[in-house]
Amino acid sequence: MRIAVVDIGTNSTRLLIAGFAAEELRTYETSLVTTRLGEGIGRKSHLSRAAIERTTEALLKFRNTITRAGADKIIVTATSAVRDADNRREFLSEVARQVGWDVRVLTGREEAELSYRGAVSSFGSKYGEPAVVDIGGGSTEFIWTENGMLNCISKRVGAVRMTDTHASQSEIAALLKEVLCNVRGTGVHHFIGVGGTITTAAAIDQHLAVYDPEAVHGYCLKEESIADILSQLEGMSPARRKDVPGLQPERADIIIAGLRILLAVVRGLGTGTITVSETDIMHGLARSAARTTN
């Protein structure tokens, strides 16, 4: 069975077409379009007409790809930008009318749980019971298990949101201080990071002119490296950043805020490192869909 998962995020809209064999997930196709649906969310909770049109256009292209691939099941979800928007109904109606899809808007807890399952599934028992940090465009989730129970906290601190508000390093650290203190107090010793900010940081740290998922997945990012990359990019114009190996040009304008969040997280947790995961919420959604189908 092939499952198509569409993730409508704050910064990008993504597609994963996957199948399962002997409990192992096999990726057939992936795609990403930087739609910036959450453009301006730091100043207002309203999806712009232009952002809705960009996202709908990307969804129409994904629908054609899914049709060609012959997917047996389609899962379409939206996260922070749509969840927080005062005109979310307008967006959902537009997608239903033009694309024919009913979009499931995930709660912060659902988003966190699916990110956790997607991230840890690819590492098996290597890290025991790690915590997962998911840095998105509109929010950051912290997920861990304690006494067999899954715990999560979602903060409205994301790369797009913090770019829109021009948040400084100290302001971001202050916004995350309480949650980081709480997570640190759980006694978790290993942290896995997911999302475009952290995979980009791993690519930049390795000077990957061509993105290599295998080189990125499982990569250990050190606090010093994150600080060095941030310092380097802060001294560049957005135009110059686009030439940095490992940095997608479409992410050049929000990478500073994303790295500030990442640095605040690693410093606040006191671990000095974070492990990068290429598997995330989309893989969690695919696994969940496979279980309910079977």
Write the pLDDT tens digit of every residue in 90-131. 999 999 999 999 999 999 889 888 999 999 988 888 888 899
Residue 287 pLDDT more than 90? no
Q: What are 202-226's pLDDT values in tens digits?
A: 999 999 999 999 999 999 999 999 9
pLDDT of residue 289: 84
* pLDDT at residue 20 in the model: 79
Neighbours of 247 (CB within 10 A): 19
Which of 74-83, 119-128, 237-246, 257-266 has the least mean pLDDT?
A: 119-128
Domain contains 288: no
- Which of 56-75 are b and which e, b meaning 16 or more Cβ less than 10 Å from the residue's Cβ? bebbeebbeebeeeebeebb
**What is residue 52's predicted lDDT score, i.e. its pLDDT?**
97
Beta bridge partners of 75: 5
Same domain, 134 and 71: no
End of a domain among 81, 106, 131? 106
Residue type, 20: F
* Residue 255 resides in a domain: yes
Torsion angle (degrees, nearest 10) of CA 177, 182, 183, 184: 80
Among 53, 114, 83, 33, which Cα is nearest to 283's? Answer: 114
CA gap 244, 247 in Å, rounded: 6
pLDDT at 210 (0 to 100): 94
Nearest Cα neighbor of 139 from 283, 281, 287, 286 is 281
How far apart CA 99 and CA 157 sit, in angstroms, is: 30
Of 11, 56, 18, the residue nearest 32 (C-alpha): 11
Residue 22 has pLDDT above 80, yes or no: no
Q: What is the pLDDT of residues 165-203, one digit of tens each?
A: 999 999 999 999 999 999 988 889 899 999 999 999 999
Q: What is the pLDDT of residue 293?
A: 63
CATH of the domain at 175: 3.30.420.150
Tens digit of each residue's pLDDT (9 = 90 or more) over 32-88: 999 999 988 777 789 999 999 999 999 999 999 999 999 999 999 999 899 999 999
Q: What is the pTM of this model?
A: 0.90
DSSP-derived pairing of the beta strands 73-78 and 140-146: unpaired
In terms of domains, do 127 and 88 share one? Answer: no
Q: Which of 165, 150, 262 is nearest to 205 (CA)?
A: 262
Residue 285 included in any domain: no
pLDDT of residue 294: 56
Q: What is the CATH number of the domain that holds 16?
A: 3.30.420.40
CA angle 222, 224, 227 (to 5 degrees): 110
How many domains are contained in the chain?
A: 2
Same domain for 170 and 272?
A: yes
Sequence-separated contacts (24+) of 265-268 with Cβ below 8 Å: 265/133, 265/135, 265/140, 265/176, 265/180, 265/193, 266/221, 266/223, 266/226, 267/173, 267/223, 268/173, 268/176, 268/177, 268/180, 268/181, 268/184
The residue range of the domain holding 52 is 2-106
Task: Give CA–CA dist 12/282, Å, rounded.
Answer: 13
Are 3 and 71 spatial neighbours (Cβ–Cβ below 8 Å)? yes
Mean pLDDT across the stretch 281-293? 85
Its sign, for the CA torsion 133, 276, 58, 99, is negative
Give Cβ neighbours of residue 49 (< 8 Å, ≥ 6 apart): none
Of 48, 79, 106, the last residue of a domain is 106
The enclosing H or E element of 256 equals helix 255-269
Do 130 and 253 belong to one domain? yes
Please state, in angstroms and rounded to a whole number, the distance separating the CA atoms of residues 134 and 126: 19
pLDDT value of position 272: 95
